[in-house]
Structure 1
Amino acid sequence: MSVTSNTEYGVRPRFWFAVYQLLWHLLLPLAFVRLAWRSRHSFAYLHHIPERLGFGYERPNTKGSIWIHAVSVGETRAAQPLIEAYLARGESILLTHMTLNGRRTGQQLFGPAIASGKIRQVYLPYDLCWCVEHFLRSFKPKFGLFMETEAWPTVVFRCAEIGLPLFLVNARLSERSAHRVNQFGKAGRALFQAFAGILAQTEFDAGRYCSLGVKNVSITGNLKFDVPLDAKLVQQGKDWQAELHAINRLMVCAASTRDGEEAIILSAWKELLLSNVFKVQPLLCLVPRHPERFTEVAEQIQSAGLKFRCRSEWQGTPTDCEQLDVILGDSMGEMPMYYSASNLVVMGGSLLPFGGQNLIEACAAGCPVLLGEHTYNFQQAALDAVAIGVAGRISGDLLFGETLALTESLKDLLLNSSELSKMSEAAKAYSIEHQGATKKILAALDQQLYSLS
């Protein structure tokens, strides 16, 4: 499905762009200070520093490659089916990231292709003219695909000026973000108008892009429905769940939690355990979104007086957890295992105003979901999931630490095995029904690139 508007192609706003470049030059030293600060957790933050400035590439010329930019973990995973489809066509890929965890995820997913040279992986440079110019001259891709929400002005406008087609793929735009763009007037709208095309996830997203005057918008669905779950991790999760069920124990996964949400969840969990309504107390698996917060969250669990162990203390699937209240999921890339082992998921990012995290992977594992009120980053997926009974909403405001609503929502579902089973089957059907975005995106890109040639 295609939606069009008749605004002229976006043009670089000279005054605002000059201000933007000045700010970037002033803030550049702080960017390196930030990397140095983060290197306290991993020295890898200081690797590939020249790439951040558009230099230091080994074998830089990959002319004719398809350039896919996936800023971090979620975008890299979402890009997987698209990357695999292009590799199957015999194409080479230039894969760029902004974050260390995004790069690590790319290495994990595409290690053999990277080793063989079919995929080249680097950091996207900071959005300064001279950095971007050297990057584009070094790699000379035939076209570019930016995943989901990325829109760096220098990159976008420069690609438009040199005739390099750049598309925003699997694109989403919340109402809040659209309002922010409009606050910048013509300068903000010109940024999205400068894309060769935008392939949006939903009608909501497409409508917002059109309201910004974007010339070429298509609705192609959400790539995350096409991302396959790691079969080995799924089996590990199922084995773990079977061991828990053998002792009549249920598990709740609090997934991709953000700063402030862990305190709410731990408070609600203590209330749940103290209610004494379960013959065998359920187990909480708490998985923070950002690895650098693992130590901080471990301290919170300890301060709450709950017995816990870290996932990293097990070599395989955790088994000796009968006496534990909480397991801290301090590992990377194991969400399919956590979901497959759980009877219910509390989706992080939605309890406080962070916009929510992706619930699709949990649904693919057949795990029912509890959502807070804040799901504007995944508006359509959340609305659909609630409407068909895959997900439930936590009624009540959690912003000021009122945890009773969360406690009662958990209690109601964990004590209703037939409802959990019904939601689980609906979740699997929901994830299968919405697959197919990869084929739609490939077809749309083929058509648009042909029209541009």
Structure 2
Amino acid sequence: MNLHSSRSRITLARAAYSALAWAVQPLLRRKLRRRAVAEPGYAEQVPERFGHYMPETWGQDGRGQWVWVHAVSLGETRAAAILLQALRQKMPSMRLLLTHNTATGRAEGQKLLQEGDVQVWVPWDTLAATRAFVAQFRPAVGVLMETEIWPNLIASCAEASVPLALANARLNAKSEAGALRMAPLSRPAYAALSAVWAQTEADAQRLRNVGAKVDAVLGNLKFDVQPDAAQLARAGQWRKDLSLPVLLFASSREGEEAQLLAELKKNPQALQAVQWLIVPRHPQRFDAVAQLCADAGFAVSRRSQWDHGLPQPEGAVWIGDSLGEMPLYYGLADVALMGGSFEPLGGQNLIESLACGTSVVLGPHTFNFSEVSDLAVLSGAALRSADMAAAVQQALALVQSPQARMAAETSARDLLQQHRGAAEATAEAVLQLMLR
């Protein structure tokens, strides 16, 4: 294929994508209205999603100064929090422009704001909206967290000479294959990034394959996590009142709670020997998971109803229906099953659990976090199970073995120590990108 033909394909792909992004805007508005029924945050500042940012002074006041960080959802926002702490140490007067796609990410991001900072929705990826966003704020630098690639947003930044980096970058094999299928659209977007800082060498190679110029492999920001000390202290106080060890199902996803409840019904000992605590990944499912437990015949006690400390166990399944309290839940637990890994969903990040000193049992599906999961299993900081039945048995065995839990905690502490430093390195890379 000659160069002219290749450029024509790229132009056509971008034009078709832009036309589609423009055409589906009414569907996006309808989707936001539906989501807002369960999560009112989706009804906030809807015009921002289409490039209308008010008040006008937001853009004028900090033009050319904003350090823009985009964290799509909850997990990316928690990674951004680690980076922001390092950035503020290097730039104490930094003005932050923080953007998100999801209501959970936005709610978590509000905790990171300081005086003079601004939080808005990232625009839908039309040419008009992305150009309006860049013109309004004119960031000094932009940092996309982990996986966020939006062709028109990246192109609008390039047009305006706004340096844009992909930080804590990761790309699994499935996403790589998808990007390669859409190469006329995705390859120019990756290539237009000013910098890419990968988590691992495997991520770096996949990113190179799809067109990114990888500047460095800086590690995973989440290894630098420092769990909330106040929440861990509260968990320590509450643990004194527990009559049973706590087994946590952390960040559970749809279909996985049903697997666990089926195991508990088949194995009454698994219910009687420990206190079960289920924390769904997505807040819009809190009510549904509580109802699922009740329909299965289990008594239910919800975190939102714990007015004065913990309720008594008495056979109830606890539901962690709150946001921002994972350190509390991990601190309460002796062992955690990691959600997202018992259905083919790719798992969840287990680093926060390890940092809280909680033993971890993984399911078979961890492709979104394959390297850290493999490292944890190889080091003895985590166990891997073939299915939910095996995971419950392994978790119960861990609960009954303080020595095994202590060994896993020691391995986790060593693993975290070996891989820290990404926050400092990434913050320095952002600073150098601004100075280019």
The TM-score bracket by the shorter chain reads over 0.9
Contact 1:308 1:328 in 2 (8 A): yes
Q: Deviations over 1:175-204 (max 9, x none)?
A: 111111111234322221111111011111
Is the contact made by 2:283 and 2:321 (CA closer than 8 Å) also made in structure 1? yes
Change in 2 beyond 3 A, CA 1:316/1:24: farther
Residues in 2 aligned to 1:120 and 1:252: alpha-carbon distance in whole angstroms: 39
Q: Report the alpha carbon displacement of residue 341 of structure 1 after superposing the two structures with TM.
A: 0.7
Q: Is the 8 A contact 1:363 1:430 kept in 2?
A: no
1:261 to 246, 256, 259: 256
* Deviation, structure 1 residue 43: 3.2
Aligned to 1:438: 423
The one-letter code of the counterpart of 1:77 is R
By how many angstroms is 1:12 displaced?
9.9
RMSD between aligned alpha carbons? Answer: 1.9
The one-letter code of the counterpart of 2:111 is Q
1:112-191 equivalences under 5 Å are 113=114, 116-117=115-116, 119-191=117-189
Equivalent residue, structure 1, for 2:190: 192
Q: CA deviation at 1:241?
A: 2.1
User: By how many angstroms is 1:310 displaced?
Assistant: 0.4
Contact kept, 8 Å, 1:11 with 1:157, in 2: the verdict is: no
Alignment of 1:304-383 (within 5 A): 304-318=296-310, 320-383=311-374
Give the corresponding residue for 1:72. 73
Match for residue 92 of structure 1 among 91, 95, 110: 95
CA distance in 2, matches of 1:208, 1:45: 33
Tell me if 1:108 matches 2:99: no
1:71 deviates by 0.8
| Match in the other structure for 1:23 | 20
SS at match of 1:13: helix
Q: CA deviation at 1:214?
A: 2.1
TM-score by length of 1: 0.89
2:215 is paired with a residue whose SS is strand
1:282-305 CA-to-partner distances (Å, cap 9, x unmatched) read 011100011111111011101221
**8 Å Cα contact 1:196-1:216 kept in structure 2:** no
**Is the 1:12–1:191 contact (alpha carbons within 8 Å) kept by the matching residues of 2?**
no
Q: In 2 relative to 1, CA 443–102 (structure 1 residues): closer, same or farther, beyond 3 Å?
A: same
Report the Cα distance in structure 2 between the residues aligned to 1:333 and 1:226, rounded to whole angstroms: 18
What is the rounded CA distance, in whole Å, between the counterparts of 2:303 and 2:9 in structure 1? 49
Between the two proteins, the alignment pairs up a number of residues equal to: 424
Taking the aligned partners of 1:154 and 1:12, their CA distance within structure 2 comes to: 16
Confirm whether residue 409 of structure 1 aligns to residue 405 of structure 2: no
Q: Which runs of 5+ in 1 are unaligned?
A: 1-9
Matching residue of 2:3:
none
Structure 2 unaligned runs (5+)?
1-6
Q: CA deviation at 1:47?
A: 1.4
User: Cα offset for 1:417?
Assistant: 2.5
Question: Paired residue for 2:232, among 234, 237, 252?
Answer: 234
User: Residues 407 and 439 (structure 1 numbering): CA distance in 2 closer, same or farther, change over 3 Å?
Assistant: closer
CA distance in 1, matches of 2:288, 2:423: 38
